[in-house]
Amino acid sequence: MTARPIDTGAAAEAPAKRKRTALKPVVPDYWCMSEPSAGDSGTRGDSSPEPEATTAEGATAGEASTDRPVVYDLAPDCTLADVETDACYHAEVNGVVDYGVFVDVSDVVSGLIHESNLDGEYAVGDRLIVRLTDVRENGDIAFDDETFADYTTETVEHEPDVSRVRGLSPGAEVTVEGEVVQAKQTGGPTIFGVADATGVIACAAFAEAGVRAYPSVEVGDMVHVAGTVETRGDALQLEVDSLKPLAGDRAAEARERYEAALDERAEPAAIDPLVEWEAFEPIHADLRDLARLLRRTVLAGRPIRVRHHADGDGMCAAIPVQLALERLVRDVHEDPKAPRHLFKRLPSKAPFYEMEDVTRDLNFALAGRARHGQKLPFLLMLDNGSTEEDVPAYENLTHYDIPIAVVDHHHPDPEAVGPLLDAHVNPYLHGEDYRITTGMMCVELARLIDPSLTEELEHVPAVAGLSDRSKAEVMDDYIALAAEAGYEQDDLLDIGEALDYAAHWLRYSEGKTLVNDVLNVGCDDPDRHEELVAFLSERAARDVDRQLDALDAHVEHERLASGAHLYRIDLDEYARRFTYPAPGKTTGELHDTRVQETGDPVITIGYGPDFCVLRSDGVRLDIPTMVTELNEELPEAGVSGGGHLVVGSIKFVKGRREAVLEALIEKMAEAEIDESLSAATALDD
């Protein structure tokens, strides 16, 4: 008996099925190929004589025979593809006529023993051994009656022609081999999502209304599903005739085939970055590994949840990745609604993954698993997630099977977060810094997942760089690339301003269509994009001017021993509250005006009752190190936070504000002046 090859082309038709009379297989788990059993006819009620006892080696006691005939015991679903002429099979009589008896060797394979080839008389239900002598062109099968004094039984499992999910056609009768990635009970059938690396298809199995079909089948099992392909709404669905979990060697072999196919299809596109940049090369290699992991996650049917910083760079990172992954989900799943169910993007206001956010995400994930029978999601952190402040949230996820990956350009704590992450992409891990923004990295990540997006994303790295004030030497190249795509530098600045303004009012909402239209990625109306950016950026500029006018007279100034200017503003007392711009943006805008006015190194602190926002230009603050030192010096102040070398935010206990600010300013006074961190020179100079 040889295994049938897997059909890698169009859907293969399954043979017609018919019921057989009360046959109970002797081997309980016929899906697992058992070791040959010698001389077992006495246990089957066959017509042949009881064989002699055999040794473990299969030889009859007292002699060393190794050439006993083999009688095959077919699994009930075996077809003509699993039988051979001149082979012997265990059979059961299903009908007696004047010219012979009809026998079944499986639920599907039946034939006639002509009376001239019968050695005895039989009734319906009798068991015997037969030899297959002929399979005629019309499908009729002829058997002979056989009797052996001694024989060996080998069980045979059915090896169906397996069809790929991708390319199935309505009306086809097929068998699909894959992993169960979803098991959802509806008010009617049970819906199993089955993935085979080419796609994922819903398989509807019915026991009773609202009753779980195949209750032993679980998410993660390798299965064979046979049935008819139907159309349900806009999606293809397999109406299940049989669903059988694979076990033992058979499951292991199926798993190996599946994993190998996942690896092959998950391979990212072979493309170069948008601009030539030596510093980016090792990061691009990390992004390739992450793209492979994300593609594999989609192909395996696992949901993805994205958390990103709610600012211009964060959205320039998240939107391209969202578009690429949603297109891949749509390509993999037969259900066009799958992207809505399997991908979720949410902004994070804090510069780290807060317990509030992780609790919401975990609750959402567990509810989705309970309601929809899905795997728990893959968490992708963008422009956030690299610091020790993220560790408690990540540790909360370790109680569940939730993989985590991070793409970030904030100063990392790799020893703290590394053991908790499946992938970590950060320029600091390669001796680089925040000038390589998350938006720049994620544009390349999106292109590795779906290179067809390239033309639509050419302006995004420049928007990300300008939004995050990147000093990268290739900013001129990115701006030139955007200009070739039709975006002047003023356009890019307006887009960044509009993104910040939209993010402020969206707060914790995704705002998918609005943000896509502002960034002009996944936007179907260029005119609407231009009108929307003009409106939002003008409103943002108006609100910024109002805020600066309100606090200008209350800004405190001093000159530090290093020669740097220090500007301080109490945002709680003098800034407009609960409106745009928020404290971080307000501090940044105030800082930019002072940099332009002085042309010298500048540090700006905007503070409230229990927080402060820090900006510097031409001064190497190293904010993450300062936070660590403040915690050691003022343990009762509960200092937390972080950021880049020149941008960051800190939280502390309200009653210790003055002590924290005083200690912070002392450290700033000792900070090194570094002209390479200055924005006083325009990008196009």
Structure tokens at 202: 């819903």
Residue 77 has a pLDDT of 81
pLDDT at residue 425, rounded to an integer: 98
- The two structure tokens encoding residue 31: 């899906």
Neighbours of 67 (CB within 10 A): 4
Q: Which residues pair with 100 in a beta bridge?
A: 97, 114
Residue 128 per-residue DSSP state = E
Helix (H, G, I), strand (E, B) or coil at 383: coil
Q: Considering only CA atoms, which of 270, 246, 258 is closest in space to residue 296?
A: 258
pLDDT tens across 326-375, in order?
Answer: 999 999 998 888 998 899 999 998 888 999 999 999 999 999 888 889 89
Q: Which domains does the chain have, with CATH numbers?
A: 70-156 (2.40.50.140), 172-262 (2.40.50.140), 279-530 (3.90.1640.30), 553-682 (3.10.310.40)
In this prediction, residue 270 carries a pLDDT of 95
For residue 603, the cross-strand partners are 566, 616
Q: Which residue is it, tokens 């999910």? A: 165
Question: pTM of the predicted model, to two decimals?
Answer: 0.78
d(CA 606, CA 490): 27
Contact between residue 404 and residue 417 where contact means Cβ atoms under 8 Å apart: no
Secondary structure (DSSP) of 49-115:
PPPPPB-TTSPBTTS----PPEEEEE-TT--GGG--TT-EEEEEEEEEETTEEEEESSSS-EEEEEG
| CA gap 462, 452 in Å, rounded | 19
Structure tokens at 146: 């056989």
Amino acid 625: pLDDT: 86
Instruction: Say what the pLDDT of residue 157 is.
Output: 83
- pLDDT of amino acid 7: 38
- What the block records as the tokens of 491 is 């356009």
Q: What residues of the chain score a pLDDT lower than 70?
A: 1-66, 678-685
Distances (CA, A) of 334 to 7, 120, 170, 234, 530: 19, 55, 12, 9, 35
Report the helix count and the strand count for the chain, using DSSP H and E.
18, 26
Given this model, what pLDDT does residue 679 score? 60
Beta strands, E only, 402-454: 404-407, 423-425
pLDDT at 100: 96
As a whole number of angstroms, the distance between CA 437 and CA 336 comes to 33
Average pLDDT, the chain: 87
Q: What are the angstrom distances between the C-alpha of 263 and each of 5, 222, 333? A: 21, 17, 18
Reduce the DSSP state of residue 135 to 3 states and report it.
strand
Work out the angle between the directed axes of helices 281-299 and 312-332 (0-180°, nearest 10).
Answer: 40
Secondary element (H or E) of residue 613: strand 611-617
Taking Cα atoms as reference points, which of 270, 316, 268, 323 lies closest to residue 293?
Answer: 268
